[in-house]
Structure 1
Amino acid sequence: MKLKADRATLLKALAHIQSVAEKRNTIPILANVLIVVKEGRLSLTATDMEIAVVEQIASGAVRDGATTAPAAVLYEIVRKLPDGAEVELDHSGGDAPLALRAGRYATSLNVLAVDDFPSMTTGSLPHSFRIPAPVLRGLIDRTRFAISTEETRYYLNGIYLHVAEAAAGEAGPMLRAVATDGHRLARVQTELPPGAAGMPGVIVPRKTINELRKLLDEAADDVEVALSETRIQFTVGSVMLTSKLIDGTFPEYERVIPRDNDKILRVGKKDFSDAVARVAAISQERSRPVKLSIDRNLLILSAASPDQGTAKEELDEGRVSYDSTPLEIGFQARYLNDITDQIEKDVEFAFSDSAAPTVVRDVDSPSALYVLMPMRV
């Protein structure tokens, strides 16, 4: 195997690859990247047995072949080469080292057998559809903050992607993304893409979501999605990300969404989130609540710390709309900000009482809905 590639192209591909490669070295081959040169194309693959990333790039292929090399080391070497460098990779076969040359720099890397590198990309994926990259990016950004990190509830450690039947006022079935950690829930939906109607409901793991989100930063075109009941594959430009799915049952989340919350508060997102940040600054405890005291067209936010003191801020008529009975309710400041960060302009809170779940909506985006559990204050 022998090829030449420009440093910038190779570095970009290795950046995608090396973050997936297993760094704990429990199985040595998983720390390596599979390098394949075939028919003038260079293919790079990394996997941790849960996720696999394959990227193809153009190269000056001289000789077809394949080998594996340490992903993190290869990435660091290429990263530290000067801009504009041409990188040559040369492997004569077998257990001979991989030679890397760039200008007057030269190194050799130990390799492991290609036959030991596992494959995750074989097998049938019967359901497939295309979705615009900005739409998929929006589904992820507005839900992933609510993914649980509690490993014992593994079925909450991802985003539940499924087809939801049309509700009143909706034109047809929707593609819906849901995440919850038991304290807050995020539900965002978009028009069902052609081909997605028969797909099973699947839970896409948190690590997969994070790796996919990095790829979507650079994507402008449609993303191809293919899945079965156990695996999902995203093709973003020249990169193919394949992942196992979480083998579990997502809870019946619709049961926790209140239907009769009739006390409606509307407030500007910036006014509200800035006020939350200011009053929450009194305490270093991340779980300390911010209390909302709500009266007709008046919102008072307050927080207290036994060690630091108290803080209060008022938002009055002109910035707040509320026309119901007075209410006091508390929420963890970080959870409030996680939700309002997803909202562009105006926030709508729908309350029942101080102990019941609260529904939060983006006034200008009816496709998103959030549920937040209150705290005792």
Structure 2
Amino acid sequence: MEFSIERAALLKAVAQAQSVVERRNTIPILANVLIEAEGDSVSFRATDLDIEVVDQAPAKVVRAGSTTVNAVTFHEIVRKLPDGALVTIIGDTASARLSVEAGRSNFSLATLPREDFPVMASSEYEANFAAPAKVLRRLFDKSKFAISTEETRYYLNGVYMHVADFDGRQVLRCVATDGHRLARIDAELPENAGNMPGVIVPRKTVGELRKLLDDDDATIAVSVSETKVRFATPGITLTSKVIDGTFPDYSRVIPVGNTKRLEVDAADFAQAVDRVATVSSERSRAVKLALDEDRLVLSVNAPDSGAAEEELAVAYADEPLEIGFNAKYLLEIASQVDRENAVFLFNSAGDPTLMREGNDETAVYVVMPMRV
């Protein structure tokens, strides 16, 4: 195998592939990236047995072939090569070495046979559809903060992507919850997505997928089966197993009878929460919201370190209410708001609170209160 490739194109492809590789591996081949050169392009494939990413880059292929090399070491070498360098890569299966040449730099790396590299079995996908990158980015970005990190409730360790009914029509919906807060985000249902099975996309896959969704003009080909999900752009394909479990009936925890309505400037609110929470060092610090007519007082009382209070002008016309929340949860939800105003709907100090972005009902958040 021999090919030449621009350093920038090589770095982009290798960076995407190596990020999937687990740092601590008991199986040596899983620390490697599979390099396959053929025609006028080179593909870089990496896997942790649950996720597989394949990134293609244009190259001048002198001799087709394939080999595997340590992903982290290879990425570090490419990262440290000078900008604009032309990199020549030669793989020799007889000596089990890979040479990387750029200008006056020359590296020789140990390789493992490509036959040992596990390739994820291709699956029959029940639904195949295309969606704009910015639509998928919104669905996953706005929901992922609520993914649970509790390993015992493994079925909550991802984003539940499914087709749902809303307002008499079908929508593509992403939901995540950890039992303390919930995010439910809707988008228009793409063509041919109606028969998609509901799948729980794992947390790590959501993180890797984000790298595919940066280009607003890109269209992502999505394929879904009961056991796998695949996202593809013209250059990158990300395939992942889905979490084998049943996502709970989240609709039961979304309150429908909350009538006490608070409207507040989202940025002002987030900054005020952040400021008053500074006096408490506890991770689960509680912020008290005291509501009166068109007035909100945020306060934190930490006996060991001090107290803080801040007042905001808001739109609120219901009876006075005092309610407490985990400051971290409030901040994460407030930071999701793209519109100017956040709308909170309360029932009582002990009931879940609903939050929306203005009058937009395609993004709904629920947060459980705390005793203060």
- 1:219 Cα offset (Å): 5.4
Deviation of 1:47 after TM superposition, in Å, equals 0.3
- Residue 166 of structure 1: CA displacement? 2.8
Structure 2 counterpart SS, 1:338: helix
Secondary structure in structure 2 of the residue aligned to 1:187: strand
Q: Which residue of 2 aligns with 1:223?
A: 220
Which residue among 343, 349, 360 is the counterpart of 2:355? 360
Instruction: Return the letter of the residue paired with 2:25.
Output: N
The CA deviation string for residues 87-125 of structure 1, in whole angstroms up to 9 with x for no partner, is 111113245201111111111111111111001152222
Q: Distance in 2 between matches of 1:69 and 1:37?
A: 14
Q: Identify the match of residue 330 of structure 1 among 324, 328, 332.
A: 324
Question: What residue is the counterpart of 2:151 in the other structure?
Answer: 151
Superposed, 1:236-255 pairs within 5 Å as 236-255=233-252
Give per-residue Cα distances to partners, 1:295-314, cap 9 Å, x unaligned.
Answer: 11111110011121111111
The residue aligned with 1:44 is 44
**1:148-189 Cα distance to aligned partner (Å, 9 max, x none):** 00001000000000000132xx5x200000000000000000
Q: Pick from 287, 291, 306 the counterpart of residue 288 of structure 2.
A: 291
Alignment CA distance shift 1:195-1:94 (3 Å): farther
CA distance in structure 2 between the partners assigned to 1:7 and 1:139 by the alignment: 33
One-letter code of the match for 2:290?
S
Deviation at 1:250, TM superposition (A): 0.2
Give the match for residue 191 of structure 1: 188
Q: CA deviation at 1:364?
A: 4.8
* 2:334–2:342 Cα contact (<8 Å) kept: yes
- Structure 1 stretch displaced more, 362-371 or 259-268: 362-371
Give the deviation of 1:279 after TM superposition. Answer: 0.8
Tell me the distance in 1 between the aligned counterparts of 2:269 and 2:103: 56
- Report the secondary structure of 1:199's partner residue: coil
Counterparts of 1:242 and 1:75, CA distance in 2: 21
The 8 Å contact of residues 219 and 236 in structure 1, kept in 2 or not, is answered as no
Cα separation, 1, equivalents of 2:277 and 2:158 = 29
Q: Percent identity over the alignment?
A: 53
The amino acid of 2:351's aligned partner reads: A
Give the Å deviation of 1:40.
Answer: 2.2
Is the CA contact (8 Å cut-off) linking 1:339 and 1:370 kept in structure 2?
Answer: yes
Structure 1's 7 and 121: CA in aligned 2 closer, same or farther, altered over 3 A?
farther
Distance 1:79 1:280 in 2: 40
Matched, 1:264 2:261: yes
Kindly state the Cα deviation for residue 21 of structure 1 after the two structures are TM-superposed: 1.5
Tell me whether 1:321 sits opposite 2:315 in the alignment: yes
Following superposition of structure 1 onto structure 2, how do residues 275-290 of structure 1 map, counting pairs within 5 Å? 275-290=272-287
Q: Aligned pair in 2 of structure 1 residues 165, 95: CA closer, same or farther (>3 Å)?
A: farther
Counterpart residue type for residue 84 of structure 2: G
Deviations 1:177-218 (A, max 9, x none): 000000000000001000100011000000000000122124
CA distance in 2 between partners of 1:273 and 1:163 (Å): 32
Q: Which ranges of structure 2 fall in alignment gaps of 5 or more residues?
A: none
Q: Does 1:351 align with 2:351?
A: no
Q: Which amino acid aligns with 2:258?
A: N
- Whether the 8 Å CA contact 1:293–1:327 is kept in 2: the answer is yes
**Deviation string, structure 1 residues 42-77 (Cα, Å, up to 9, x no partner):** 011000001000011110100011100000000000
Is the Cα–Cα contact under 8 Å of residues 94 and 113 in structure 1 kept in the other structure? no
Q: Does the CA-based 8 Å contact 1:159-1:203 persist in structure 2?
A: yes
Q: Aligned pair 1:117/2:117, yes or no?
A: yes
State how 1:9-88 maps to structure 2 within 5 Å. 9-88=9-88
2:99 corresponding residue in structure 1: 99
CA contact (8 A) 1:204 1:246 kept: yes
Counting matched residue pairs gives: 371
Give the secondary structure class of the aligned counterpart of 1:91: strand
In the alignment, the residues of structure 2 paired with residue 64 and residue 259 of structure 1 have an alpha-carbon distance, to the nearest angstrom, of 61
2:206 maps to a residue whose letter is: I
Contact conserved, 2:134 with 2:215, CA < 8 A, in 1?
no
Cα distance in 1 for residues equivalent to 2:110 and 2:220 = 36
Matches of 1:112 and 1:311 in 2, distance apart? 60
Letter in 1 for 2:257: D
The one of 364, 367, 370 equivalent to 2:365 is 370
1:25 deviates by 2.3
Task: State the secondary structure of the residue aligned to 1:165.
Answer: strand
Q: Does the Cα contact within 8 Å between 1:121 and 1:242 map onto a contact in 2?
A: no
Aligned to 2:139: 139
Distance 2:145 2:96 in 1: 46
| Counterpart in the other structure of 2:126 | 126
Task: Please state whether the residue corresponding to 1:75 is helix, strand or coil.
Answer: helix
Using the alignment, how far apart are the partners of 1:104 and 1:296 within structure 2? 72
The root-mean-square deviation of aligned C-alpha atoms, in Å, is 1.1
Per-residue Cα deviation, 1:249-281 (whole angstroms, up to 9, x for no partner): 000000001110111111111221111111111
* Aligned-pair CA distance for 1:132: 0.5
